[in-house]
Amino acid sequence: MQWVYIRPLRSFGDRRMRTVYVNGEYLPEQEATISIFDRGFLMADGVYEVTSVLDGKLIDFDGHAKRLRRSLGELDMTNPMSSDDLLEIHRELVRLNEIDEGLIYLQITRGSDGDRDFAFPDPETTAPTVVLFTQSKPGLADSTAAKKGAKIISIDDIRWGRRDIKTVQLLYPSMGKMMAKKAGCDDAWMIEDGYVTEGTGNNAYIVKDNTIITRHLGNEILHGITRAAVLRMAREAQMKVEERSFTIEEAQEADEAFTTSASAFVMPVVEIDGVALGEGVPGKVATRLREIYLQEMRNAAI
């Protein structure tokens, strides 16, 4: 007897089917496919970017496009398209999916030459895989999570040594997020050689005596696009900024703390490893920086 597998009708709940982009085509999400031999799937051999959308416009697109080019270059991957073409695809997906507030996820992998091998395929004959999709997130800017502030746990940073490249190797950050959830918290800050590197998906900051302290750039952290914008805005607002390492103990004694990322902007932190910061509510500096960031970025959105 021959078995025929009938694919069940997938339930997508109330969420409407998205139009996604795969290698030059705009397709309904249920029709979009890539090869099982894709190196993104087999080797985590790929890079990504997440760009937020507010009022139907892209936030800091140029920053994300620039970092994408750098990530591709650091991994000797072919850059498959110009920033103008990428912008066009981002905008088309926003339009097709009627995104007012949300995120655009972009992933580029080294593609597939139809087999599995540790050695990279010849870029002359194997094209990169390019995938983009939207995530609608109403209330992204007016976030209840940001009004409450985040509770953080600390965990060891056991990731690889090139965290400045935005690769799709996100297993350990996902595990960190689950460790935080298990502890009844929202996120984890990672510690290496006694110092905080960054959050699972964000850069980490403390505020002491009105000075904003965040780890200096290097291979140990991702060079956040939001980090660059927030530090520029803080300096323009005459706030003092120190780019240096800090410990969890120093963070627990800080007046306040926060994180930055393209998907959550400036997120106040109210508790670290069970110790409440200040009054245990979002701090003034983080709240002000969130306001400034959102306002400036909305004005500059494209």
Active-site residue set: 166
Report d(CA 226, CA 116) in Å as an integer.
36
Of 222, 254, 270, 272, the residue at the interface with ligand PLP (CB under 6 A) is 222
Nearer of residues 63 and 111 to ligand PLP, judged by Cβ: 63
Q: At what angle do helices 225-236 and 61-74 cross, to 10 degrees?
A: 130
Residue 214 sits in the site that holds ligand PLP (CB under 6 A): no
Of 238, 166, 175, 239, the closest CA to residue 203 belongs to: 166
Helix (H, G, I), strand (E, B) or coil at 99: coil
Nearer of residues 121 and 201 to ligand PLP, judged by Cβ: 201
Query: Backbone phi, then psi, for 48, in 5-degree steps?
Result: -150, 170
Segment holding 197, helix H or strand E: strand 195-199
Segment holding 28, helix H or strand E: strand 25-28
Q: How far is the CB of 186 from ligand PLP (least distance, A)?
A: 15
Of 128, 103, 122, 97, the closest CA to residue 24 belongs to: 128
Report d(CA 205, CA 212) in Å as an integer.
7
Residue 203 sits in the site that holds ligand PLP (CB under 6 A): yes
Helix (H, G, I), strand (E, B) or coil at 139: coil
Region of 33-41, 94-102, 114-122, 259-267 interacting with ligand PLP (CB under 6 A): 259-267
Residue 233 sits in the site that holds ligand PLP (CB under 6 A): no
Residue 46 sits in the site that holds ligand PLP (CB under 6 A): no
Nearer of residues 117 and 291 to ligand PLP, judged by Cβ: 291
Extract the tokens encoding 161.
């040594």
Extract the tokens encoding 177.
């997020």
Residue 165 sits in the site that holds ligand PLP (CB under 6 A): no
**Residue found under tokens 């025929």:** 4
Residue 201 sits in the site that holds ligand PLP (CB under 6 A): yes
Residue 261 sits in the site that holds ligand PLP (CB under 6 A): yes
Residue 109 sits in the site that holds ligand PLP (CB under 6 A): no
Of 109, 134, 226, 287, the residue at the interface with ligand PLP (CB under 6 A) is 226
Of 134, 167, 260, 287, the residue at the interface with ligand PLP (CB under 6 A) is 260
Residue 51 sits in the site that holds ligand PLP (CB under 6 A): no
Of 106, 262, 267, 269, the residue at the interface with ligand PLP (CB under 6 A) is 262
Confirm if 224 and 251 have CB atoms less than 8 A apart. no
Extract the tokens encoding 238.
């005459």
Region of 27-35, 105-113, 119-127, 197-205 interacting with ligand PLP (CB under 6 A): 197-205
Of 224, 268, 282, 283, the residue at the interface with ligand PLP (CB under 6 A) is 224
Contacting residues toward ligand PLP, per CB under 6 A: 50, 198, 201-203, 222, 224-227, 260-262
